[in-house]
Each structure stands twice: as structure tokens, then as C-alpha cells.
């Protein structure tokens, strides 16, 4: 039990380091640069060096802040993302907790993180931080609704909230194909709102450098800033892996009904390789979007959610219910 916990925490940290390296390399690719290339071959040890640097940095004590809240805030972020991380099925049998309310657990627990952001912004006693936190709060609360509804659509399709059963039901047909129109809409909405929830891409206005210095974590230094940074990267991974699990079949290899030898060959590729490659594709897409679109204004951001995504989502759930009840999903048809 203890070992599992330690392994999970280690995986959390290592994944964050890998993600930071990958992000920097891909960003460089999109901006026609080389990226980190000095420390180690291809700059492979750049993030290791960065992590060591952030670990030995001094934590600067700021005057006139609410001490207790200022030091608790980063923990909310990191604990929320770590709790979510524990529920992800990384591979066959490689699943720490398999709640029967899996999807609901993930949405519930990840909503605690925003409190960290709000408290950080408030306790910093700084107008930039405050505005950043307010923006982040408004953004997260609105887009959480969309993400939840998109996941609910898929719960309607697979008839369960448990991740393991959900993956099992996608053995021959991924959910994104199974529910065709409705699933595709839900998938796109989930990716957009997942992006917005993690404060990334075109939705990074809580920490818009040109207006707000760094938003809610302006006053943080050293490892405390590291916590925010780590949680942000891991949240990107978590959103991608939940999208992969719910829509793209998680660790389940590609199977085609009737082609037994093909299925057998596909099973020789380990399940975690399938999982991580699906996640990698989604993360690449997320970075692609991040570096391709200009930043939205706050009113555009809220309009997008409340005037477009939410109504589409509500109609989409209804369409999915009709599809399932009338037996028009792909598995029912063929």
C-alpha cells in the first residue's frame, strides 16, 4: 500500500519532468527554434537541472500577506491534481483505485484545486494576483460545467461511471466512434473545456504575462511556485488521459471484430504503451492549439462557454440519450 503511494508520487514527479521537456521541445518546433540543447544530449537533462535549481532556491517570505493562507494555497492545487492522478488507469491491471463512480470522482476531486488559486490570489495582497485569481476562478467554474456535461454524455453511452468497465465496453469500438455525431461533439467540447480548466493555450488569461505579470502566482518563489507549475503540467496530462480513457478506449489495444490474429498481434504491444501513445497524441494536439491561437479576452471566453458550449452540450446529451435508447450507436447497428 505504502509502496503504491510512493510509486505514484514518483511517477507524478517524473512525468512532470518529462512533460516539461516535451513541451519545451514541441514549443520550439512550432516556433522554428531548436529548444533546450546544451545540458546532455539533445538537452535531455535540462529539466533535471531545472528541478534541482528550483529545489535549492530560497522561499522568499513576503511581508503583509496572510501567512497561513499564502502557504496553504499551493497544497490545494497539488493535492487536488494528485488525487485525480491516482484514479487514472495507466494500463491493464495498472490502476490504483477503481471507484465505481470513477468519472464523477475525478470531476469532484479536481474541483478542489481552484480554491488554491483563489486563496493564492487573495492572500498575496497584490492586485495582479487578485485579478488573475478572479479570472481563473470565473474560467474554471464555467468550463468545469462543460467538461462535466461532456463526460456525462459518455457515461450515458457506456452506461457506467467506472473506468475499468468503461474501457472494457470499448473493446471493439471506441466510444468516440460508437456514439458517432454526439461523441465527436462531446470530445471536442471536452478538449476545449479541459484546455480552459488548466489555464493553458488560448485560455491562459489568468496569467497573461503582458497584463498581469504572472497572475495568481506572482508572489510565489522556489518550491512553492514549483507546486503550481507542477500541478499545471500534470493537469494537462490528467485531462489528456481522461479524454483518452473515456473517448479513445484507454489502454485497450485496437481490436477489430472477427480478425482474431490481428487482435492477437495488437495485444502483444503492452497496454501501457497504448495508453501513453494515445495520451501523447492528445498532448501534442493541446500544444498545437496552444501555440496556434491568440489569447482570448475574458468576455469572449465567458461568451464561448455560456452562449455556445453549454447549450450545445445540453442538446448533445439529449441526442446521445436518443441514440442510445433507439439503438443507433455503432455497436447496436453492426
Partner 1 sequence: MEVHIVFYILSLIIAVFSVMAVTSGRLIRSATYLLFVLLATAGLYLILGYQYLFAVQTAVYAGGIMVLFIFAILLTQRPGGRITPESVKQRVFAIILSVAGAFFSGFIIISNIGRVSHLVDMKEIDSRHIGMTLMGTGKFQYLMPFEVISVLLLACIVGAIMIARKRS
Query: Which of residues 145 and 330 has its CB atom nearest to partner 1 in the complex?
Result: 145
Size of the site for partner 1 (CB under 8 A): 31
> Per CB under 8 A, does 149 bind partner 1?
no
Contact window for partner 1 (CB under 8 A) among 8-16, 42-50, 116-124, 288-296: 116-124
Q: Which is nearer to partner 1, 140 or 227 (CB)?
A: 140
Judged by CB under 8 A, the residue of 45, 104, 272, 284 near partner 1 is 104
Question: Using the 8-state DSSP alphabet, how is residue 255 labeled?
Answer: -
Closest Cα to residue 287, out of 251, 227, 233?
233
Q: Which stretch binds partner 1 (CB under 8 A): 94-102, 253-261, 282-290, 321-329?
A: 94-102
Q: Which of 29, 75, 99, 177 binds partner 1 (CB under 8 A)?
A: 99
Nearer to partner 1, 64 or 210 (CB): 64
| Residue linked to cell 511517477 | 11
Collect all residues with Cβ–Cβ distance below 8 Å to 93 and sequence separation of at least 6.
none
CA pair distance 242, 50, nearest whole angstrom = 28
Please tell me the distance from the alpha carbon of residue 93 to that of residue 276, in angstroms, as a whole number: 15
3-state secondary structure of 140: helix
Q: Which range, of 16-24, 101-109, 240-248, 293-301, touches partner 1 by CB under 8 A?
A: 101-109
Answer yes or no: are the C-beta atoms of 80 and 37 closer than 8 Å. Answer: no
Task: Build a one-symbol-per-residue string for 151-190: x at contacts with partner 1 by CB under 8 A, - elsewhere.
Answer: ---------xx-----------------------------
Minimum CB separation of residue 61 from partner 1 in Å reads 16
Identify the helix (H) or strand (E) that includes residue 325. helix 310-326
**105 binding partner 1? (CB under 8 A):** yes
What CA–CA distance (Å, rounded) separates 73 from 64? Answer: 16
**Cα atoms in the 13 Å half-sphere on the side-chain side of 18:** 12
Residue 175, CB half-sphere, CA atoms under 13 Å: how many? Answer: 33
Q: Percent helix, strand and coil across the chain, each rounded to 5?
A: 70, 0, 25
- 228 and 74 Cβ atoms separated by less than 8 Å: yes
| Choice from 17, 51, 115, 266 touching partner 1 (CB under 8 A) | 115
**Facing residues of 89 across strands?**
95
112 binds partner 1, rule: CB under 8 A: yes
Is the Cβ of residue 119 or residue 239 nearer to partner 1 in the bound state?
119
* Interface pattern 53-72 for partner 1 (x via CB under 8 A): -----------x-x-xx--x
**Cα angle 300, 290, 213; round to 5:** 70
Site for partner 1 in 121-140 (CB under 8 A): 121-123, 125, 130, 133-134, 137
Task: List residues binding partner 1 (CB under 8 A).
Answer: 64, 66, 68-69, 72, 99-101, 104-105, 107-109, 111-112, 114-115, 118-119, 121-123, 125, 130, 133-134, 137, 141, 144, 160-161
Amino acid at each position: 500500500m505504502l509502496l503504491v503511494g510512493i510509486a505514484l508520487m514518483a511517477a507524478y514527479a517524473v512525468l512532470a519532468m518529462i512533460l516539461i521537456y516535451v513541451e519545451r521541445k514541441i514549443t520550439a518546433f512550432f516556433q522554428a527554434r531548436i529548444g533546450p540543447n546544451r545540458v546532455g544530449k539533445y538537452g535531455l537533462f535540462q529539466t533535471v537541472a531545472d528541478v534541482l535549481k528550483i529545489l535549492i532556491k530560497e522561499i522568499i517570505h513576503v511581508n503583509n500577506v496572510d501567512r497561513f493562507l499564502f502557504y496553504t494555497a499551493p497544497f490545494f492545487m497539488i493535492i487536488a491534481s494528485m488525487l485525480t492522478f491516482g484514479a487514472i488507469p495507466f494500463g491493464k491491471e495498472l490502476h490504483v483505485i477503481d471507484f465505481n463512480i470513477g468519472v464523477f470522482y475525478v470531476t469532484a476531486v479536481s474541483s478542489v484545486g481552484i480554491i488554491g488559486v483563489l486563496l493564492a490570489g487573495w492572500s498575496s495582497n497584490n492586485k495582479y494576483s487578485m485579478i488573475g485569481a478572479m479570472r481563473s476562478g470565473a474560467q474554471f467554474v464555467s468550463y468545469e460545467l462543460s467538461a462535466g456535461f461532456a463526460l456525462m454524455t459518455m457515461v450515458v453511452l457506456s452506461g457506467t461511471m467506472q473506468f475499468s468497465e468503461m474501457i472494457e465496453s470499448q473493446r471493439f469500438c471506441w466510444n468516440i466512434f460508437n456514439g458517432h455525431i454526439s461523441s465527436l461533439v462531446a470530445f471536442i467540447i471536452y478538449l476545449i473545456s479541459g484546455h480552459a480548466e488548466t489555464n493553458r493555450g488560448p485560455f491562459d488569461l489568468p496569467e497573461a504575462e503582458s497584463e498581469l505579470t504572472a497572475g495568481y502566482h506572482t508572489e510565489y518563489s522556489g518550491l512553492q511556485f514549483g507546486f503550481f507549475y507542477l500541478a499545471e503540467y500534470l493537469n494537462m496530462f490528467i485531462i489528456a488521459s481522461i479524454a483518452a480513457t473515456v473517448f479513445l478506449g484507454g489502454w485497450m489495444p485496437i481490436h477489430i471484430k472477427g480478425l482474431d490474429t490481428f487482435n492477437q498481434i495488437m495485444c502483444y504491444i503492452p497496454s501501457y504503451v497504448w495508453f501513453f501513445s494515445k495520451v501523447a497524441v492528445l498532448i501534442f494536439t493541446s500544444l498545437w492549439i496552444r501555440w496556434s491561437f491568440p489569447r482570448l479576452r475574458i468576455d469572449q471566453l465567458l461568451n464561448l462557454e455560456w452562449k455556445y458550449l453549454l447549450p450545445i452540450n445540453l442538446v448533445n446529451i439529449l441526442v446521445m440519450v436518443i441514440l442510445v435508447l433507439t439503438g443507433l450507436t455503432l455497436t447496436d447497428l453492426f
